[in-house]
Each structure stands twice: as C-alpha cells, then as structure tokens.
Amino acid sequence: MTQKRSFKSVGIIGTGSYVPEKVLTNLDLEKMVETSDEWIRTRTGIKERRILDKEKGSSYMAIKAAEKALEAAKLEPEDIDLIIVATVTPDMMFPSTACLVQEGLKCKNAAAFDLEAACSGFLYGLTVAYSFVRSGVYSNILLIGTEALSRITDWTDRNTCVLFGDGAGAAVISEVPEGRGVLGLDLGADGEGKNLLKLAAGGSLMPATEETIRNKQHYIHMEGNEVFKFAVRKMEEISLKVVEKSKLEICDIDYLVPHQANIRIIESARKKLRLDEDKVYVNLENYGNMSSASIPVALDEAVRKNKIKDNDVVLLIGFGGGLTWGAMVLRWYSKGGF
C-alpha cells in the first residue's frame, strides 16, 4: 500500500531589515534636477530615500538585515540550510551575492544562490523557499531582498531618479504549526512587457562599451505611464486570485503589505479591494521604491511595530520588470517577541 506523502506547513519565523544612514530628500533633488518636493509627493508619495555609501555593496545591506532576521528567528548561522538573495544589483556578476552573504554570516552549512525577478523578487524567492521547506529538502532558509538602486539610477533623469532608494529586508522560512504559514500563492509573468522597465546594457546581449555608457544604457529605463496602468490592474487582479486560492474572502485579510512603488497605485488597490487604511502598511514616503527589498523591509517594520500579530491573515503583493508579479497569503506565526 502506497503511503500518502505528508507536506509541512511553512511560514516566516523571523524578519529583519536594514537601510543606509544617508538620506536624500526631495529638497536635495530640487538642487540636482528640474523637479519639486510638491511634484514628487503628489505624484508618488515619496518624501525621501536612503543612499548606500559608495564603498559598500548590496551584500553589506543583506548581511545587516539577515543578522536581525536570524536573531528574531532565534537561530544561529549554522542552522541555515540555504540562502536565497533576490536582487537586480548584485555586488558583481559572479560569484553570487548569496555566496558573499554566506561567507559574511558564516553560514557554513548553507547552499546559496541569487534570484532575479526585479521588484517581484522577494515573492518569487519566498515561493521557492516555501517549496523547498514544504517538501522537506531544506529546514531553514534565509531569504533576502537587497538593492542598491542608486548605482543604476540616472540622476539627471527627473522621471526616474525621484523614485528609487537603497535597502535590504530578510526573512527566515521554516516549518510552522499546522494551519499557520502560507495559505495560498500565485506568480506570473508577461515577457511582452519586457521593454517597459529594464536596464538594457551590461549583459551578454549588450556588453559594456563606450557607446552604451555614452547612451546611458546602464541605467534604469521605465515607461512610467504603462507600468502604472499595469500595476494598478494587477494589484487588484492577483489579490482577488490569491485570496480565492487560499479559500478566503478579502474581508478575511487583516493586513496588506504591498510593494512600495507609488502611493497612487497602493491607494487605488486599497479602494478597489475595500480595505481600511489601517489594514495597509505604507513606508514609501521614507524609502521610495527599493525593488525586491520593498516588501521585506515593510513587512519587518509592520511586525516590529506590532501591526501584524500572531494568527493575523497577511497578504503580500508585488509587481515589477519582466513584467512579473506575485502574491502570497499567510496566517502569521509569531515565534516570539522582539
């Protein structure tokens, strides 16, 4: 007789985050490009962003965030089986930023690799980590979203330079009690939107040359209006889809932690989903868009501020270049306080 395979319940047992000390305000940007504090705030909701020191890389922030996540999870570095780093700004093409983090943290028992899905990276990584733990391949996975977007931002382009900031967020994914953790998830992509949000040069198709540098092809390029329309549509669509897959209703959601890209996108989704303002975590005004770091930094802050409590139903949702998107519903498990 074939024995039915048993899958584990999987959730997040610890979070951590780090943002650089240097603050770049809208008033600072007024001195750099033709823009204004009012224009930036009304169109994006951003007041300031953090900028990483020039001598440091994404791995530095990743390690800082990971240390806090390990502490919250009450684990030691040697307890980690796998490190996944989601980033579009690795320290270098190879070795992976995850390997640099492994060495920095002394996670001697961990495998390590990077994952790239732009602003959806943390949710893609969370889905991979969930699958590994659920199937029993690994027990404790450290997932980090870390971005030094200031390195790939054209500070003469007023349409994009006001949007982005640097930071890192981390989570430890492990087995949790039955009925807790991940209830439903959904990922998606549409490669037809590949040119709406991209960094064209520096890869195998367009290696660095004097021409690519002169043409500023090593900086973020974004078709803002099209990305905005895509994000507004997808936020509502995939929220409803993943909640249904979780066998819940929107009214069951205790807290929404969205990708922090634009306050108008977040507000549009909140109203369409009929969620109260106090059920949505927003830190966009302080950090701007941190790509794959946005959701884990916001999640960590919400947990540490006791906005998210044990047994709460939490919806995470993100979208980004690719085009990509992802969503996950979790019943929160609090392993302990901070």
Question: What is the average per-residue pLDDT within 210-223?
Answer: 96
Domain ranges, ordered by start, for the chain: 10-179, 182-331
Q: Do the bridges between strand 197-198 and strand 221-222 make them parallel or antiparallel, or are there none, so unpaired?
A: antiparallel
Active site residues: 119, 259, 289
Q: Where are the alpha helices (DSSP H) in the chain?
A: 26-30, 37-44, 58-73, 97-105, 121-134, 210-214, 224-245, 263-273, 284-287, 294-304
Percent of the chain with pLDDT over 90: 96
pLDDT one-digit tens code per residue, 79-93? 999 999 999 999 999
At residue 284, the pLDDT reads: 97
Please give the CATH architecture assigned to the domain spanning 10-179: 3-Layer(aba) Sandwich (3.40)
What's the whole-number average pLDDT of the chain? 95
Model confidence at 207: pLDDT above 60: yes
At residue 4, the pLDDT reads: 56
Tokens of 100: 């640099």
Asked if residue 117 lies in contact with residue 100, where contact means CB atoms within 8 angstroms, the answer is no
At residue 338, the pLDDT reads: 46
Model confidence at 2: pLDDT above 70: no
Percent of the chain with pLDDT over 70: 98
pTM: 0.96
> What is the per-residue DSSP string for 73-107?
HT--GGG--EEEEE-SS-SSSSS-HHHHHHHHHT-
Q: Which CATH code, of 3.40.47.10, 3.20.20.80, 3.90.79.10, 3.50.50.60, is assigned to 182-331?
A: 3.40.47.10
Confidence tier at 3 by pLDDT (50, 70, 90): low
At residue 336, the pLDDT reads: 58
Contacts of residue 96, Cβ cutoff 8 Å, sequence gap at least 6: 85, 90, 112, 113, 114
pLDDT one-digit tens code per residue, 91-128? 999 999 999 999 999 999 999 999 999 999 999 999 99
Confidence tier at 334 by pLDDT (50, 70, 90): confident
Phi, psi of 229, rounded to the nearest 5 degrees: -65, -40
pLDDT one-digit tens code per residue, 271-310? 999 999 999 999 999 999 999 999 999 999 999 999 999 9
Model confidence at 1: pLDDT above 90: no
Confidence tier at 165 by pLDDT (50, 70, 90): very high
Confidence tier at 6 by pLDDT (50, 70, 90): confident
